[in-house]
Amino acid sequence: MAELPSDLLPIPTQPWDERPNALPLVVEEVRTALWLDGGNISAAAERLKVTSVRLRRFVERSPRLMNEKREMIERVSDRAMANLVETIHDDLDKDRRNQDSKWWLDRQARDRGFGGAGAKVSISTSGPVIVGWADGTTVSGEADDESFRGGVNTSEEEEDGIIIDSSVVDPDSGGNSAA
């Protein structure tokens, strides 16, 4: 849980199962409940013994509580980012590291050509291989070498520093990667 502010006031003990509607919510009590429950309105409502609808309306009408809620979200986001950065540097769990790295690149490195702004590749067993970029630029080529059959290289060899392996492409799947 995120570090709690030092100025939170305790929530008084409540002798009822549900807070009476006639008893108004108090900003400081709500603030404490929100911090204790990490900004989760439903959990804070349970703690305060009110409906989540009532508490949500109260929070939405209070600029102070909305600012507090935003701060809670920022702190959780900071923690999540710290966890992500930690896993990206984890040499013991390479699968997790690679998965988290791909997630980061897809969302945070689009300006570097990753994610939605990255390259698109079209491969079919007949016709050209087409590589296209977000700016509309494309490069295509035909597989007319004798070692290609149906668009797939049947041998593992190196062409221009790129290893082509027939196990990577399944000719019966229309060029989709084999699993």
pLDDT band at 66 (very low <50, low <70, confident <90, very high): very high
Higher pLDDT, 148 or 41: 41
DSSP notation for the chain: -PPPPTTPPPPPP--SSS--TTS---HHHHHHHHHHTTT-HHHHHHHHTS-HHHHHHHHHT-HHHHHHHHHHHHHHHHHHHHHHHHHHT-SS-HHHHHHHHHHHHHHH-GGGT-GGGS-EEE--SSS-EEEE-TTS-EEEE---STTEETTEESS-EEETTEEE-TTSB-GGGTSPBP-
Per-residue pLDDT at 116: 62
Per-residue pLDDT at 149: 43
pLDDT at 34 over 70: yes
pTM of the model as a whole:
0.53
pLDDT at 168 over 70: no
130-158 pLDDT, tens per residue?
Answer: 777 766 777 777 655 444 444 444 444 44
Higher pLDDT, 138 or 178: 138
